[in-house]
Amino acid sequence: MEKSILEIFTLITGVIYVILEIRQKNAMWVLGIITSLASMLVFYSQGLYASFGLNAYYLITAFIGLWQWRKDKGAIEDTSKIHLNRLSWRVAAISAILFVAGTIGLAAGMDYMSELGFKENPMSLLDASVAVLSAVATWWLVKSYLQQWWLWIAANTLSLILCATQGMWWMAVLYILYVVAAVIGLKHWTKHGTTVAPKELNISQLDQNYREKSENNTRSIN
């Protein structure tokens, strides 16, 4: 009974969180802390230690995300726009390597924990893949990469399967809503996004300062 109430609470806060995420409101990070704490309790009770650890990771990134989004907002003129950063091939390649290596390592670690007497994780490989993929997606969210929505569609679909197989039906409903929200978020960010390019802005400013100095020097000579 208590677990069901906690799952329903997580469902409610999670829905509000993703709505704020789509609209790119900083308040989502505060609500994310609450949702993560509730999710940690649910997943720990089920022995899904990777998902438990993932939500602990969410707590940390919430503070980083709050700072990063405020910083990016200050780099664009129209603050009503969704601020986006460009995803480089280097970041994408590193993320792919981390996903593969992290999933294998985490799954092996959870299997070893069960041998030490911890509650056995019946879906260690799936749980690990969800955790690592979501961790990468969260970091891409912090950096405001448009492509983070594709990762969330994949991660939430896997989470839906994980929760359904464990009989966590309220959490399964939450992840169905997350998948739908990720599709909506992708469309919304694509339509209303503007790329943050502070380096280009700085170069432009330097060029303007150079022209002004040249004009002043010319006037002084004349």
The C-alpha atoms of residue 139 and residue 76 are separated, in whole angstroms, by 21
Which whole number is the average pLDDT over 180-187?
91
- Contact present, 153 and 182 (Cβ < 8 Å): yes
For range 153-173, the mean pLDDT: 88
* Residue pLDDT, tens place only, 52-69: 887 888 888 887 887 777
Q: b/e for 174-183, b at 16 or more Cβ within 10 A?
A: bbbbbbebbe
Higher-confidence position of 146 and 116: 146
d(CA 14, CA 11): 5
88-112 confidence digits (pLDDT tens) = 999 999 999 999 999 999 888 878 8
Q: What's CA 101's distance to the chain center, in Å?
A: 19
Q: How far apart are CA 85 and CA 196, in angstroms?
A: 6
How far is Cα 160 from Cα 184, in angstroms, rounded to an integer?
Answer: 18
* Structure confidence at residue 204 (pLDDT): 47
Share of the chain above pLDDT 70, in %: 79
Beta bridge partners of 82: 193
Evaluate whether 23 touches 184 at the Cβ level (below 8 Å).
Answer: no
With b for 16 or more beta-carbon neighbours within 10 A and e for fewer, the 124-156 pattern comes to bbbbbbbbbbbbbbbbbbbbbbbbbbebbbbbb
Main-chain phi, psi angles of 24, to 5 degrees: 55, 55
Amino acid letter for position 117: G
- In terms of pLDDT, which residue wins out, 160 or 210? 160
Single pTM value for the model: 0.69
**What token pair was written down for 208?**
């303007």
CB atoms within 10 A of CB 18: 24
More confident residue, 203 or 35: 35
Quickly tell me which residue has 């969260």 as its tokens: 138
- Pick the more confident residue, 221 or 53: 53
Region 79-96: what's the mean pLDDT?
86
